[in-house]
């Protein structure tokens, strides 16, 4: 197979546990890029945090941010999906405010939070970017006036709390939304039908690439739609079992330069 597009989840896949790109992975991706293969970072991260990774790779990347709901080709947004503002308000009022948890809100390049806690501060340190403190009622008012909404919402909390909120939201949550875990401490909420698989298709359409010419890497629930759409699906060694079962190949872990091993197997980029 002649591949034209490599789609990479970032945290737990491209980055090791120290939040760095292992040198063998950086080198293999550089060689793939030099062959004319496009590299896409398909991630739950916001644009500013995704650009940090792009700079570390030192190659231009397509950036499918906010769980694939906001895609940048260079500085141009080529795809954007938004949650209905009424659904965003219900999630805040019924699940976050009553649980005394902050809601993370992503809109384009913006990151808002309704309050700051340990998980917000932790993320700020990792991505070297602070969110804006926002009044959810005022954001919803503006979105309704503009006919828009957030690209993504996120719950960050202890794994047990996230599991409980996810279970409740599946039963009692508003219509028009989907959700998935990107880590045990994160629940990502996005427009119904919007996922990393749709992002892969949008990138393929923009670049005139067939899905069969794509190879995708992931490790978590959020990556499942992307691996299902890709021509070749690669699960990391540290991936959840559901992802490993649907993958064409299970490579090494994110700490063992698993991406480099798989690219050598499929693209021979030694």
Confidence at residue 98, expressed as pLDDT on a 0 to 100 scale: 79
At residue 80, does pLDDT exceed 70? yes
Query: Using alpha carbons only, what angle is made at residue 269 by residues 265 and 270, rounded to the nearest 5 degrees?
Result: 95
Among the ranges given (4-8, 93-97, 200-204), the one the predictor scored with the smallest mean pLDDT: 93-97
In tens, the pLDDT along 217-256 reads 999 999 999 999 999 999 999 999 999 999 999 999 999 9
Q: Per-residue confidence at 270, pLDDT binned at 50, 70, 90?
A: low
Would you say residue 268 has pLDDT above 80? no
Q: Using CA atoms in the order 216, 2, 5, 181, what is the torsion angle rounded to 10 degrees?
A: -10
DSSP secondary structure string, 111-177? EEESS--HHHHHHHHHHT-PPEE--HHHHHHHHHHHT---SEEEEES-HHHHHHHHHHHHHHSPSSE
Predicted local confidence at residue 182, as pLDDT = 86
SS3 5: strand
Taking 80 as the threshold, does the pLDDT of residue 211 lie above it?
A: yes
Mean predicted confidence (pLDDT) in 43-69: 95
Are the C-beta atoms of 99 and 165 separated by less than 8 Å?
yes
- Res 222: pLDDT: 93
Q: Supply the pLDDT for residue 22.
A: 97
Q: Using the predicted structure, report yes or no on whether residue 269 has a pLDDT greater than 70.
A: no
39 forms bridges with which residues in the sheet?
A: 6
pLDDT of residue 183: 87
* Average pLDDT score over residue span 258-269: 91
Q: What is the average per-residue pLDDT within 24-34? A: 97
Count of beta carbons in the 10 Å neighbourhood of residue 148 = 16
Unique residue bearing structure tokens 């030099």 = 34
Write down the H helix ranges in the chain: 23-34, 47-57, 85-91, 118-127, 136-146, 159-172, 196-207, 224-229, 241-246, 258-267
pLDDT at 1: 66
Average pLDDT, the chain: 95
Give the pLDDT score at 70: 97
Asked if residues 83 and 149 have their Cβ atoms less than 8 Å apart, the reply is yes
Average pLDDT of the residues in 143-166: 96
The predicted-structure confidence for 98-116, as pLDDT tens digits, reads as follows: 788 999 999 999 999 999 9
């Amino acid at each position: 197979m002649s591949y034209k597009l490599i789609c990479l989840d970032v945290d737990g896949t491209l980055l090791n546990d120290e939040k760095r790109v292992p040198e063998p992975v950086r080198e293999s991706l550089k060689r793939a890029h030099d062959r004319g293969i496009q590299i896409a970072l398909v991630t739950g991260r916001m644009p500013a945090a995704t650009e940090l990774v792009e700079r570390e790779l030192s190659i231009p990347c397509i950036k499918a941010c906010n769980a694939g709901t906001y895609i940048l080709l260079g500085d141009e947004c080529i795809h954007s999906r938004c949650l209905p503002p009424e659904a965003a308000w219900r999630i805040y009022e019924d699940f976050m405010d009553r649980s005394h948890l902050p809601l993370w809100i992503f809109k384009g390049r913006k990151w808002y939070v309704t309050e700051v806690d340990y998980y917000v501060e932790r993320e700020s340190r990792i991505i070297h970017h602070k969110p804006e403190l926002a009044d959810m009622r005022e954001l919803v008012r503006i979105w309704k006036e503009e006919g828009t909404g957030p690209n993504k919402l996120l719950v960050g909390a202890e794994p047990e709390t996230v599991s409980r909120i996810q279970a409740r939201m599946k039963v009692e949550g508003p219509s028009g939304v989907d959700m998935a875990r990107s880590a045990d401490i994160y629940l990502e909420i996005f427009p119904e039908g919007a996922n990393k698989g749709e992002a892969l298709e949008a990138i393929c359409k923009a670049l005139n690439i067939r899905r069969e010419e794509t190879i995708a890497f992931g490790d978590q629930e959020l990556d499942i739609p992307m691996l299902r759409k890709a021509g070749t699906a690669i699960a990391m060694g540290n991936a959840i079992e559901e992802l490993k079962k649907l993958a064409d190949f299970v490579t090494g872990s994110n700490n063992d330069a698993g991406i480099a091993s798989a690219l050598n197997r499929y693209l021979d980029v030694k």
